[in-house]
């Protein structure tokens, strides 16, 4: 039995192919001009690793921002459900899931039976989302992929006082002009982002274990800052945290097909 999960987000598209419950192929691409094209492109990239074609897949579940426009999905599921399912399948002890994507942030509480019990969502304000770090990386003229390692080199713990991305960007430029060190600024930015996420999490109550997923979770600096901000360690997540939504969609596909 072979199934797939396809997560079309605002910035990236993700696919996971499961052969029974083992990951057979996966791919992440930057979104292109339309959700349809992103979906086609990400699945063909996953197929190119294995020589599979669409006809080899028994069932496909779509999710994410562009879920209704995935041409090959058999059905769609909400992102919240997929994220919760994906995380529960891998780390059953998780009760609080913090997910920060390119254009949103969500905190999902998971019951003892692995169901979503409550969630909060921010997609109205860019602050607190991956876009915040993208804009700051541009202002600092560094690659977003290097922010995590630079975080560890911070000496002076800078405080970023503005929450708004637009105002914080001006604040960062002032800090650069004052001669502040890049790692110190990054530490401040990661802390600001983490504080935003943890206040979202506090609004629903934080119960351990806590796991951090989404594209931003690839940045260990933000993970460190979140653990510090909530005062709890983060559980290890044994998968690329960016593809946990796609993984959850694939797990749902598996359950659905077994029925």
Partner 1 sequence: MKIVAGCDVGSLTAKAVILKDRRIIASAIVRSRAKPQQSADNVMSEALSQCGLSQSDIQLCVGTGYGRNQIPFVNHIMSEIACHAKGAKWMMPSVKTIIDIGGQDCKIMRIDKNAQVQNFLTNDKCASGTGRFLEVMAQVLNIDISELGSTTQKSHSPITFASTCTVWAQADVIKHINDGVPPEDIGAGVNAAMANRVAILVRSIKPEKDIAMTGGVAKNQGVLSVMEKILGLRIKKIRKSDPQLAGAIGAAIFAHEKITNN
Q: How far is the CB of 34 from partner 1 (least distance, A)?
A: 12
Considering the rule CB under 8 A, would residue 165 count as an interface residue with partner 1? yes
Cα separation, 225 vs 252, in Å, equals: 32
Phi, psi of 28 (to 5 degrees): -130, 130
For the chain, the first-to-last Cα distance in angstroms comes to 12
31 contacts partner 1 (rule: CB under 8 A): no
Binding mask 103-132 for partner 1 (x = CB under 8 A): x-------------------xxxx----x-
Please name the residues in contact with 167: beta carbons below 8 A apart, sequence gap of 6 or more: none
Asked if residue 91 binds partner 1 (CB under 8 A), the reply is no
Sequence-ordered strand ranges (E) for 9-146: 12-19, 22-30, 59-63, 75-76, 96-100, 105-110, 116-122
CA distance 167 to 139: 12
Asked if 163 touches partner 1 (CB under 8 A), the answer is yes
| Buried/exposed code over 77-91 (b: 16+ C-beta within 10 A; e: otherwise) | bebbbbbbbbbbbbb
Is 176 one of the binding residues for partner 1 (CB under 8 A)?
no
Q: Taking the complex as a whole, how short is the minimal distance between the CB of residue 177 and partner 1, in angstroms?
A: 6
Which C-beta is closer to partner 1: that of 41 or that of 163?
163
Question: Which C-beta is closer to partner 1: that of 103 or that of 117?
Answer: 103
Find tokens 């800090």 and name the residue: 175
Instruction: Please give the size of the binding site for partner 1, defined by CB under 8 A.
Output: 14
**C-beta of 168: minimal distance to partner 1 in Å?**
10
30 binds partner 1 (CB under 8 A): no
- State the nearest-atom distance from the C-beta of 68 to partner 1, in Å: 16
Residue nearer to partner 1 on the CB measure, 195 or 244:
195
Q: Are 54 and 68 in contact (CB under 8 A)?
A: no
* Token output for 176: 């650069």
Nearer to partner 1 by Cβ, of 55 and 177: the residue is 177
**How near is the Cβ of 127 to partner 1 at its closest, in Å?**
8
List the helix and strand counts (H, then E) for the chain: 8, 9
Q: Provide the minimum distance between the beta carbon of 150 and partner 1 in the complex, in angstroms, as a whole number.
A: 23
Q: Which stretch binds partner 1 (CB under 8 A): 54-62, 162-170, 203-211, 232-240?
A: 162-170
Q: Output the CA–CA distances (angstroms, integers) from residue 248 to 17, 144, 231, in the order listed.
A: 11, 26, 28
CB of 128 to partner 1, least distance (A): 11
Which residues make up the interface to partner 1 (CB under 8 A)?
103, 123-126, 131, 135, 162-167, 177
């Amino acid at each position: 039995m072979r199934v797939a999960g396809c997560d079309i987000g605002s910035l990236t598209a993700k696919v996971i192919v499961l052969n029974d419950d083992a990951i057979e192929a996966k791919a992440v691409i930057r979104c292109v001009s339309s959700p349809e094209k992103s979906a086609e492109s990400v699945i063909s990239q996953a197929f190119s690793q294995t020589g599979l074609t669409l006809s080899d897949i028994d069932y496909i579940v779509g999710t994410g921002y562009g879920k209704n426009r995935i041409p090959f999905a058999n059905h769609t599921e909400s992102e919240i459900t997929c994220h919760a399912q994906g995380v529960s399948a891998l780390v059953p002890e998780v009760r609080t899931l913090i997910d920060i994507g390119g254009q949103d942030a969500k905190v999902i509480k998971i019951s003892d039976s692995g169901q979503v019990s409550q969630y909060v969502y921010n997609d109205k304000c860019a602050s607190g989302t991956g876009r915040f770090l993208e804009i700051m990386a541009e202002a600092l003229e560094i690659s977003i992929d290097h922010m995590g390692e630079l975080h560890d080199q911070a000496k002076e713990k800078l405080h970023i006082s503005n929450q708004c991305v637009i105002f914080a960007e001006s604040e960062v430029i002032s800090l650069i002009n004052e001669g502040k060190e890049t790692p110190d600024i990054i530490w401040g930015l990661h802390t600001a982002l983490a504080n935003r996420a943890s206040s979202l999490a506090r609004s629903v109550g934080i119960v351990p274990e806590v796991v951090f997923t989404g594209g931003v979770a690839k940045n260990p600096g933000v993970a460190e800052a979140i653990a510090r901000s909530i005062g709890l360690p983060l559980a290890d997540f044994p998968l690329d945290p960016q593809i946990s939504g796609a993984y959850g969609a694939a797990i749902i596909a598996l359950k659905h097909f077994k029925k």
